[in-house]
Structure 1
Amino acid sequence: MTAVEQKPAGAWRGVDLGTRTVSYDERDAILYALAVGAQATDLDLVMEDRLRVLPTFALTLAQWAPDELGSRGAFDTKTALHGSQELTVLAPLPPSGEVTLSARVGEVWDKGAAAVFEVVVESEYFVATWSLFAPGAGGFGGERGPAKPAGPVGDPDLSAELVTAANQTALYRLLGDMHHIHIDPAAAERIGQPRPIMHGLCTLAASSLPLARALGVHPANLTQLSGRFAAPAFPGDRLPISGWRGADGVDFTVGGAIVGAHARFSE
């Protein structure tokens, strides 16, 4: 087990979190697709003979990196929140294989009562950045960081719906994020929620499927995805997706759960 390091939040900026080679097979990629809402009729997402791996599957392969930072004592893992996520796709993931991932701490922003840690994971296939909001870790004299970008202006020009399944978190947690708040009502109650909540990464990834359909593209053609987690979603929710097309992709929201989101797909 990694030793806990006690130091101010700002001192974590730039810290190397290590390199890991992770492996997966077609069954893992298919389970992921089902967990984020692929249907049995989406044969190239759920059938090994013609499998295209959803780009957001990369985020499950890299989940060890933010977990590593928490295990080193950078923040209280019981109170820290996943604030936002970014993913840039560099190349399609193969149906199975090994991926070497290098992780580091990016910026650490001082929000006064809290700190925001960026965890950056890089590979030949993608770059992913977690932003982790850590109450009680601020006040170290660092920069506050950039302000939240302004939301889209005007009426949305596309709409879709994210229909989540009652058992969606039970499936998604099998991919590595086994936190009890996603399955155990008692654990959810301890954080002030009426029942288990969706994984933020599941909600964000799942939203890319109906969004792609609304745009007339394949969800595996995703090249960029980001979003801020504004409120919890719950298994079984039906969440409206509103989108605003732009020159470099589409800005979108997912109910009140995800705001400031952006996606880009190749043709």
Structure 2
Amino acid sequence: MTDTADWAGRPLGEREVGWETSDAILFALAVGARAEQLDLVFERDLRVLPTFALTLAQWAPDVLGSAGAFDVGTALHGSQRLEVLAPMPASGSTLMRARVGDVWDKGAAAVFEVVVECEYVRAMWSIFAPGRGGFGGERGPGRAADPEGEPIATPVVDVAANAAALYRLTGDRHHIHIDPAAAARIGQPRPILHGLATLSTAALAAAEVHGASPADLRLLEGRFSGTVLPGERLTVPVWADGAFRVDTERGTAIDGARALFA
């Protein structure tokens, strides 16, 4: 197996990805867009949710796992960052380039950064890989500080019972999101919602609090600290500076989060 530190900076290739209006609409519906939000769900004046780009870039962390950087059976999606560079058209294609960013040494584990860039977005996955630490590298940044003061609003979001079944049609078809037996193998009572779906759903709620269009998202980031089950009720405390958190009755699902809008 390649030494952990040697993965830093490695190219992961490039891929031309394309989409139709129906793909963008399906994504919006899967993450909770309402039928009356016509600019998100009606092709006539469609504005593509920026987080849709993350479904088109999912191949990049998969390439790194397939190359043997970490055990795909134990690695976890630790956090996500998305910078929006330009609006995506309702349909089209773009060339995405991927590389490994920094690789941090957390002692018992390593964190691999996967960076994907195209003309519309710059995205970064942080993959937490148990058993790959202890190589003498830097620990990297710590957890973001908790928001100061009280949230300006705490919207409640009811996740649809079929949310994971819908979201997996956008590209991430891992069995833990649909198969009860696969979910049980990772200690979950039933299939779980994709972390990126939860992050997109929370961004919709945050946009409403700030009086912004979700399509005007400019930056989104968050750390995945727990799971969400389809059909659950979420609370999303939102702060004036863009910070937010996602909570379930079982605990916090996303923290260290921020959404900024134009």
Shorter-chain TM-score category?
over 0.9
Q: What is residue 136 of structure 1 aligned with on the other side?
A: 131
Candidates 216, 225, 245, aligned match of 1:253 = 245
Q: Displacement, 1:159?
A: 1.6
- Equivalence for 2:168: 173
- 1:188 is the counterpart of 2:180: no
What's the CA shift for 1:168? 0.3
Q: State the TM-score, normalizing by the size of structure 1.
A: 0.95
User: Which is further off, 204-213 or 85-94?
Assistant: 204-213
Q: Which residue of 2 aligns with 1:202?
A: 197
Partner of 1:75: 70
CA distance in 1, matches of 2:65, 2:31: 26
Match status 1:56 vs 2:77: no
Q: How many residues align?
A: 258
In structure 2, distance between residues paired with 1:162 and 1:59: 22
SS at structure 1 position matched to 2:102:
strand
1:45-79: CA deviations, max 9, x gaps?
A: 11111100000001001000000000100000011
Among 95, 98, 102, the residue aligned to 2:97: 102
Aligned residue number for residue 45 of structure 1: 40
1:220 aligns with 2:212: no
Which residue type is aligned with residue 107 of structure 2?
G
1:141 is displaced (CA, Å) by 1.1
In 2, Cα distance between equivalents of 1:146 and 1:209: 27
User: Which sections of structure 1, spanning at least 5 residues, go unmatched?
Assistant: 1-5
1:15-63 deviation line (CA, Å, top 9, x unaligned): 0000111011101001101111112111111111110000000100100
Is residue 259 of structure 2 the alignment partner of residue 263 of structure 1?
Answer: yes
Secondary structure class of the residue paired with 2:36: coil
Question: 1:132-174 CA deviation, whole Å, 9 max, x = no partner?
Answer: 0001111111111111121112221222122210000000001
**Percent identical residues:** 61
Native 8 Å contact 2:209 2:238 kept in 1:
no
Quote the Cα distance in structure 1 between the aligned partners of 2:215 and 2:71: 35
Moved over 2 A (4+): none
Is the Cα contact below 8 Å between 2:101 and 2:114 reproduced in 1? Answer: yes
| Distance in 2 of aligned mates of 1:217 and 1:150 | 25
TM value normalised by structure 2: 0.97
| Pairing 1:103-118 to 2, within 5 Å after superposition | 103-118=98-113
- Give, as a single letter, the amino acid of the residue that structure 2 aligns with 1:252: F
Structure 2 segments unaligned to the other structure (5+ residues): none
Task: Name the residue aligned to 2:115.
Answer: 120
Cα distance in 2, alignment partners of residues 235 and 174 from structure 1: 15
Aligned residue identity for 2:200: A
CA RMSD, 1 decimal? 0.7
Counterpart AA for 1:265: F
Output the CA distance in 2 between the equivalents of 1:124 and 1:201: 21
